[in-house]
Copies of this chain bind each other. A is one copy, B any other.
């Protein structure tokens, strides 16, 4: 491979790595904005934990677990002996031509991805989860479950070669299933085991909206996530190939725009007001929907996938409330439901569309779903039975910030006399 192309590829991948890292600020803003002030420090703490511990875990074991065979003949399960990843011979140089960029960039880009799955769960369990239990869950889920599932496809495992008829393997470009649904499945199990927040559902069946504390932060979070998706999807090309990267950015942005507009319109006709949070969640729905096939779709396909992805969000949020699954930030609707839709859409639209491909996508969604549901259920049930996963009623009412952190998010915020 030519040296200058290798350099340009690597620059692009480093930029994308930075953008995916930046998504963690987006998730933080989104989540604190949609939840009550009394739990803000707790959510921020969780998110900072996820990115720092997630990265270290991925370094210690996840990367080698997810991409077996890359690490110099060693089977690499955890590699505790050698502590941390090792570069293959010449791994940092253009000789590592397979990915078209350096081994180090590869690790860091994938590491930023890994932490995302736990972040999705974080939003759904907000305002009532016990912090140490969440830490343990995160360590196991990011350290083991995520890289195992990832290895099935991105590590060249059995989903990658799953053949049905003409279709030659499961396709999930940047992770509608492998990242978003992996997080989403754990979120739905966690929410079911945790139960709703106090006061969310009353016995007469009515649902109480529990508004968050800052829509500016929520909006900033979604715009930062959209920008981050330039790296999430654009970097998943794994090179700076001009045709694929720029097409990917176009499909990603059009699906985001279409998802937002669709959710805005559907919610306007359903509820007769201009609902900013639906608009914003629709954008995220569009982004998650396009993620599985962002490099396979025409711009027109992307608009249609986004329109459906955004509309789905509005209905999914209502449906989850009917099922009394209390998800404060809409994470299950956005990451699980739109993630499934996006994965299936690869069989319906774009270059790979075929009945066989649709079947492969459906089967893969099912296999990944079953594994994640079972894993999350086992981990969380053990935690529930042993140390408990939910804070006390008193703590939930008074707020997690004071109880677990001894501080308030805005300790010196004062109103002037009015």
Q: Are the C-beta atoms of B25 and A224 separated by less than 8 Å? A: yes
| Chain B hits for A8, CB < 8 A | 4, 7-8, 11
Minimum CB–CB distance from A326 to chain B (whole Å) comes to 16
Q: Are the C-beta atoms of B92 and A11 separated by less than 8 Å? A: no
Q: Is A108 an interface residue (CB 8 A)?
A: yes
Q: Are the C-beta atoms of A28 and B220 separated by less than 8 Å? A: yes
Q: Are the C-beta atoms of B7 and A250 separated by less than 8 Å? A: no
Q: Assembly of this chain: how many copies?
A: 3
Minimum CB–CB distance from A264 to chain B (whole Å) comes to 8
In the assembled complex, the Cα of A117 lies from the Cα of B217 at a distance in Å of 24
Q: Is A14 an interface residue (CB 8 A)?
A: yes
Q: Which of B45, B101, B245, B418 contacts A14 (CB 8 A)?
A: B245
Minimum CB–CB distance from A137 to chain B (whole Å) comes to 16
Q: Is A289 an interface residue (CB 8 A)?
A: no
Q: Is A406 an interface residue (CB 8 A)?
A: yes
Q: Are the C-beta atoms of A11 and B10 separated by less than 8 Å? A: no
Q: Are the C-beta atoms of A411 and B275 separated by less than 8 Å? A: no
Given known pairs A52-B256, A246-B108, A414-B415, the reply for A216 and B4 (CB within 8 Å) is no
| Chain B hits for A22, CB < 8 A | 223, 227
Q: Is A393 an interface residue (CB 8 A)?
A: no
Minimum CB–CB distance from A412 to chain B (whole Å) comes to 4
Residues from 36 to 60 in A contacting B, C-beta threshold 8 Å:
36-38, 40-41, 44-45, 47-49, 51-53, 55-56, 59
In the assembled complex, the Cα of A101 lies from the Cα of B418 at a distance in Å of 56
| Chain B hits for A103, CB < 8 A | 246
Q: Are the C-beta atoms of B28 and A246 separated by less than 8 Å? A: no
Q: Is A288 an interface residue (CB 8 A)?
A: no
Q: Are the C-beta atoms of A246 and B413 separated by less than 8 Å? A: no
Q: Is A261 an interface residue (CB 8 A)?
A: yes
| Chain B hits for A211, CB < 8 A | 407-408, 411-412
| Chain B hits for A29, CB < 8 A | 216, 220
In the assembled complex, the Cα of A407 lies from the Cα of B104 at a distance in Å of 46
Minimum CB–CB distance from A246 to chain B (whole Å) comes to 4
In the assembled complex, the Cα of A413 lies from the Cα of B361 at a distance in Å of 44
Q: Is A270 an interface residue (CB 8 A)?
A: no
From A64-72, A276-284, A334-342, A378-386, the one touching the partner chain is A276-284
Per-position binary interface string of chain A over residues 291-334, scored 1 when its CB falls under 8 Å from any chain B CB and 0 otherwise: 00000000110010000000000000000000000000000000
| Chain B hits for A9, CB < 8 A | 7
In the assembled complex, the Cα of A242 lies from the Cα of B8 at a distance in Å of 9
Q: Are the C-beta atoms of A246 and B18 separated by less than 8 Å? A: no
Closest 5 CB pairs of A and B: A4-B4, A211-B411, A104-B246, A213-B412, A52-B257
Return 23 A-B CB contacts under 8 Å, by A number: A4-B8, A8-B11, A17-B249, A22-B223, A22-B227, A28-B223, A37-B412, A41-B276, A48-B276, A48-B280, A52-B260, A59-B299, A92-B247, A101-B246, A102-B242, A104-B243, A108-B253, A211-B408, A211-B411, A212-B412, A213-B412, A213-B413, A214-B410
